[in-house]
């Protein structure tokens, strides 16, 4: 059965009016045509992703992350590899708690930092009690092989399939040290319907993966990155 999703940076769990089969990353269904099926993709003023070329230093609270659950399964939904989690996984900012719904990947990265595009970006998608969305974005650069990714890609699902892991993997192992090392800005979903009002937290500390791991993930997902969008009047806040 075909499901409808509101996709935050590639995938989301909230119901949307946009069919996943109506959009893609190339040709007549590519990003330049998303506005035909979801007007905010072309009319919105606070769209994601962006190139973080300038920022304003701000006295922002540290991100208090409390991931104690596990990654239990992985779905290839045709647009991304989406990891499903269970247990208590949340983060708190300014007294507001956001619960992790899933995380997924983009090859290459959607957001850029000072013009640099990374080979892989992970989006940890959260929602609070009022269904406000927040995304923690983590960049990966080529270096040493990543043990979490090694476990993830040992068996990859085919398009439309889900695999369940015999062994659970701690979600906390995926993130680097965060604290105040992040950029914050207001943005949108990076896929149709491109809804705005999403809180974005782009981490300044990266993790490594090997080129071979990049190649495996890229083969599974292809180029699934939306082009960068105009910053317009937004400020990017630097908590560092």
Can you spell out the DSSP letters for 82-131?
EEEEES-EEEEETTEEEEEEEEEEESS-SSEETTBPPSEEEEEEEE-TT-
* Reported confidence tier of residue 3, pLDDT bands at 50, 70, 90: very low
Instruction: Find out whether 51 and 153 touch, Cβ atoms under 8 Å.
Output: no
pTM of the model: 0.92
For residue 1, pLDDT beyond 60: no
Domains of the chain: 4-238 (3.10.200.10)
pLDDT at 20: 61
C-alpha dist (Å) from residue 13 to 44, 144, 158: 22, 32, 20
Cα-Cα-Cα-Cα torsion 45, 57, 206, 171, nearest 10 degrees, comes to -80
Q: Which of 79, 84, 123, 126 is catalytic?
A: 79
β-strand pairing of 133-142 with 64-67: unpaired
Catalytic annotation present for 79: yes
pLDDT at 240: 66
Burial of 151 (0-12, 13-18, 19+ CB in 10 A): middle
For residues 37-65, average pLDDT? 95
Burial of 107 (0-12, 13-18, 19+ CB in 10 A): buried
């Amino acid at each position: 059965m075909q499901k409808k999703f509101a996709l935050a940076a590639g995938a989301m769990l909230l119901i949307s009016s946009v069919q996943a089969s109506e959009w893609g990353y190339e040709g007549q269904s590519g990003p330049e045509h998303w506005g035909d099926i979801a007007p905010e993709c072309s009319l919105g003023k606070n769209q994601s992703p962006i190139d973080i070329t300038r920022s304003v230093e701000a006295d922002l609270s540290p991100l208090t992350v409390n991931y104690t659950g596990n990654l239990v399964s992985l779905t290839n939904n045709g647009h991304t590899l989406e990891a499903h989690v269970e247990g208590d996984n949340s983060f708190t900012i300014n007294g507001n708690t956001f619960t992790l719904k899933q995380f997924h990947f983009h090859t290459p990265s959607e957001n850029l930092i000072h013009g640099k595009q990374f080979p892989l970006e992970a989006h940890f998608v959260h929602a609070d009690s009022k269904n406000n969305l927040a995304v923690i974005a983590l960049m990966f650069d080529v270096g040493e092989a990543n043990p979490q990714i090694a476990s993830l890609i040992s068996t990859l699902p085919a398009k439309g399939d889900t695999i369940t892991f015999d062994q659970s993997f701690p979600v906390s192992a995926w993130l680097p040290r965060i604290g105040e090392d992040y950029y914050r800005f207001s943005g949108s979903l990076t896929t149709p319907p491109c809804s705005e009002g999403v809180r974005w937290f782009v981490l300044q500390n990266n993790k490594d993966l090997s080129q071979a791991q990049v190649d495996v993930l890229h083969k599974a997902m292809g180029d699934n990155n939306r082009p960068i969008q105009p910053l317009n009047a937004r400020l990017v806040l630097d908590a560092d």
